[in-house]
Structure 1
């Protein structure tokens, strides 16, 4: 589903994403798979998972947005505010009960969230990307995008199957996830997907997907772009 008329230079690069987070993903904690999402991800005890965003509602639009309580609008120069991000996730009816239940401080009041602000949807205020992480290994277990409209933030994207990580790259929402075949060990996923979305007509549209096959026993990578 590549973008019509889109060149490779228009798309966000995938190498920096994989370089930054592949090590954390492949070192994912067993507690993430077994404790946090065993009910959501374990089907028949195989550890297998589907590709792409967590569910059909993972790519949201204005019609599916969840309206949240008003929050302070971040300025362009403001540092990411983990406290605001935690409030957004906790108050969001679109966030699963498993994520809310496990979103607790790791140490003192230090919550396991990674927050970034940026331009994704063309709103008057910067969008907020929130990644919920595991405490031990800082593995991404859920990702959300919040868009401001009329003084309220709305959930316009979610992915809740770990390991997953979302970030802003030159106006694109770039989601990195790892994929497990039926017999894969938790430490040895079969492949990695890097998926790029663009906000068009009130919703995120998939524009590019790159799949990297890890191969057996850590062999050479095979990359392929699905268009």
Structure 2
């Protein structure tokens, strides 16, 4: 009886851990190469830079479009709509900087950029300006999410998303994986009531 109870508990635990998902951001099973590369990354940690002035960095960047620079204005007082992340993407001695520029009203990403430290200054090594777009660091890879809209979709309700994973190779970011997620229709039609018998 005790062996059966333990076995049942192990099966339940394994099923709960192995089949659960995180929703629209679920990108499938972990890749084996990410496990193999973990010790190498730990052997050579990057130095996290002092806080970077992301607004000044983007505004001074000739590769950023004039449209994105126009969007980059304070939403309230001196608070700009930017998200900034630091992490090792390009294998440099100083962490790279990922900057996402958003709109003030609905926080839609209008531009995503990666800056790499070279000779004491930051250089743009990646740009994506097809809104809505958002870039993140995930285990040493650059993951860019682009929401997809069907005709008639409101800005607040995209139909799905493309999730693109890039890896730094030979001095540039190369696309490695691409996943498309369709969003479910949460607010569908109401069920037809069953008549009383």
- State the TM-score bracket (shorter-chain normalisation): 0.5 to 0.7
Please report how far the alpha carbon of residue 98 of structure 1 lies from its aligned counterpart in structure 2 after TM superposition: 0.7
Partner Cα distance (1:178, 1:151) in 2: 35
Partner Cα distance (1:218, 1:91) in 2: 44
Find the structure with the greater CA-based Rg.
Answer: 2
Partner Cα distance (2:74, 2:139) in 1: 31
Q: Deviations over 1:62-100 (max 9, x none)?
A: xxxxxxxxxxxx95275x54xx11111000000000111
Q: TM-score, normalised by structure 2?
A: 0.67
Task: Between the two structures, name the one with larger relative contact order (CA 8 Å, sep ≥ 6).
Answer: 1
Task: Decide whether aligned partners of structure 1 residues 188 and 108 sit closer, same or farther in structure 2, where only a CA change above 3 A counts.
Answer: closer
Partner Cα distance (1:195, 1:212) in 2: 11
- Corresponding position of 2:25: 18
Task: Decide whether aligned partners of structure 1 residues 162 and 170 sit closer, same or farther in structure 2, where only a CA change above 3 A counts.
Answer: same
Please report how far the alpha carbon of residue 162 of structure 1 lies from its aligned counterpart in structure 2 after TM superposition: 1.4
- Corresponding position of 1:197: 166
Pair 1:94 & 2:63 matched = yes
Q: How many residues align?
A: 149
Secondary structure at 2:25 match in 1? helix
> Which of 136, 159, 166 is matched with 2:135 structurally?
166
> What's the Cα RMSD here?
2.5
Larger deviation, residues 210-219 vs 150-159: 210-219
> Which of 58, 78, 84 is matched with 1:115 structurally?
84
